[in-house]
Amino acid sequence: VWAAKAWREGDPGGTRAGRRPRAGSVPTGFLDVDVTSAPLALECLYTPWAPGTDSDGAPTPQDCPRVFSAGLDLTEMCGRNPAHYAEYWKAVQELWLRTYLSSLVLVAAINGACPAGGCIIALACDCRVLADNPKYHIGLNETLLGITAPFWFKDAYVNTIGHRASEQALQLGYLFPPSEALQVGLVDQVVPEDQVLSTALSEMARWLAVPDHARQLTKNMMRKATADRLLRQRDADIQNFVSFICRDSIQKSLQVYLEKLRQRKG
Ligand SMILES: CC/C=C\C/C=C\C/C=C\CC/C=C/CC(=O)SCCNC(=O)CCNC(=O)[C@H](O)C(C)(C)COP(=O)(O)OP(=O)(O)OC[C@H]1O[C@@H](n2cnc3c(N)ncnc32)[C@H](O)[C@@H]1OP(=O)(O)O
């Protein structure tokens, strides 16, 4: 995800925001940097979880080719205690709220698979450019894991692709291939793989050409109600998540899913 505030403000440090989370901290290797602090001319923000990013160093998009984000780290939701789940979910909320409400222009350059948590971060951006590769699916597939997308994931989906398409895709846990993602409006452009970044940068330039204050106020006007819905019930949402994820049946489903992923690899 590339974020830029204003090229003209200059970049003090070429800020690179992604780091693998410390245990019990931000869940996602993301947003160690306060993205609201200016001037951030250009940031590279890294997405929730991708195979191959478990080192201490900050991953780069090249470290995990074919994966934009594998979604939230399922190992954070399995076999832990309620306090861990609560802290984890609070951080997931924080990640989404900061991204969704960022006054920066955010363009998602999606160069790989983008399920669930990955999709929700892409949806929090202003615009999405997806590489044209039939393996690069995007969507909210939670039901296939035996879990439910939280209401604010659903809200972001509905805001983007509408109620009927969301209802169908959410129930089926459907992951859209690029052409369908474009057709339904889940992404804004599908381009050849080697043009993803350049297209994202062109999009960025287009958005930055608009007077910042007007664009920011408009963005906030469009997004406030959705964000407020979560802000009003953050604690209840955490409690729901914890009691849901602690259920034996849900733990079992997640373990089975993780095991399938591991076996598929072998
Ligand atoms: C009534 C309701 C009331 C209340 C509800 C309240 C709250 C709602 C509750 C819960 C909501 C929780 C929300 C979760 C959102 C999520 O994001 S869930 C995660 C969804 N992600 C996926 O399904 C992706 C699964 N992964 C893949 O499909 C592939 O890995 C992928 C296409 C991304 C990459 O493929 P490939 O390059 O071939 O890599 P591998 O498949 O070989 O994977 C390598 C290793 O990575 C492990 N792995 C993959 N994804 C994850 C993950 N998300 N978390 C942890 N680990 C993952 C995989 O097992 C391999 O591990 P190994 O190296 O073998 O140890």
Ligand 1 centre distance from Cα of residue 71 (Å): 6
> Looking at residues 104-110, what average pLDDT do you find?
97
Q: How confident is the model at residue 25 (pLDDT cuts 50, 70, 90)?
A: very low
Domain annotation covers residue 223: yes
**What pLDDT, on a 0 to 100 scale, did the predictor assign at position 48?**
52
Domain annotation covers residue 241: yes
> Looking at residues 237-262, what average pLDDT do you find?
97
Residue 225 and residue 175: Cα distance in Å, rounded? 27
Share of the chain above pLDDT 70, in %: 75
Ligand 1 centre distance from Cα of residue 223 (Å): 28
Whole-Å CA distances, 239 to 84, 225, 243: 12, 22, 6
Closest Cα to atom 46, ligand 1: which residue? 51
The answer to whether residue 141 is catalytic is yes
> Looking at residues 99-121, what average pLDDT do you find?
96
Domain annotation covers residue 13: no
**What pLDDT, on a 0 to 100 scale, did the predictor assign at position 32?**
36
Residue 81 and residue 222: Cα distance in Å, rounded? 37
Domain annotation covers residue 52: no
ipTM over 0.85: yes
Cβ(67) to ligand 1 under 6 A?
yes
Q: What is the pLDDT of residues 33-56, one digit of tens each?
A: 333 433 232 333 444 556 655 444
Domain annotation covers residue 45: no
The pTM for the full model equals 0.86
Select which of 141, 175, 186, 254 is catalytic: 141
Cβ(72) to ligand 1 under 6 A?
yes
Q: How confident is the model at residue 20 (pLDDT cuts 50, 70, 90)?
A: very low
Domain annotation covers residue 46: no
Domain annotation covers residue 14: no
Count of domains in the chain? Answer: 1
Cβ(74) to ligand 1 under 6 A?
yes
Q: Residue 72's closest CA among 18, 1, 120?
A: 120
Tell me: pLDDT of 12 over 70. no
Q: What is the pLDDT of residues 174-211, one digit of tens each?
A: 999 999 999 999 999 999 999 999 999 999 999 999 99
Cβ(66) to ligand 1 under 6 A?
yes
**What pLDDT, on a 0 to 100 scale, did the predictor assign at position 264?**
85
Give the residue numbers spanning the domain of 97.
64-195+202-264
CATH for 81: 3.90.226.10
Select which of 71, 117, 118, 173 is catalytic: 117
> Looking at residues 241-255, what average pLDDT do you find?
97
Ligand 1 centre distance from Cα of residue 7 (Å): 35
> Looking at residues 58-66, what average pLDDT do you find?
60
Select which of 142, 145, 170, 186 is catalytic: 142
The answer to whether residue 79 is catalytic is no
> Looking at residues 146-166, what average pLDDT do you find?
98
C-alpha atoms less than 13 angstroms from C-alpha of 210 in its C-beta half-sphere: 13
Tell me: pLDDT of 153 over 60. yes
**What pLDDT, on a 0 to 100 scale, did the predictor assign at position 41?**
27
Domain annotation covers residue 163: yes
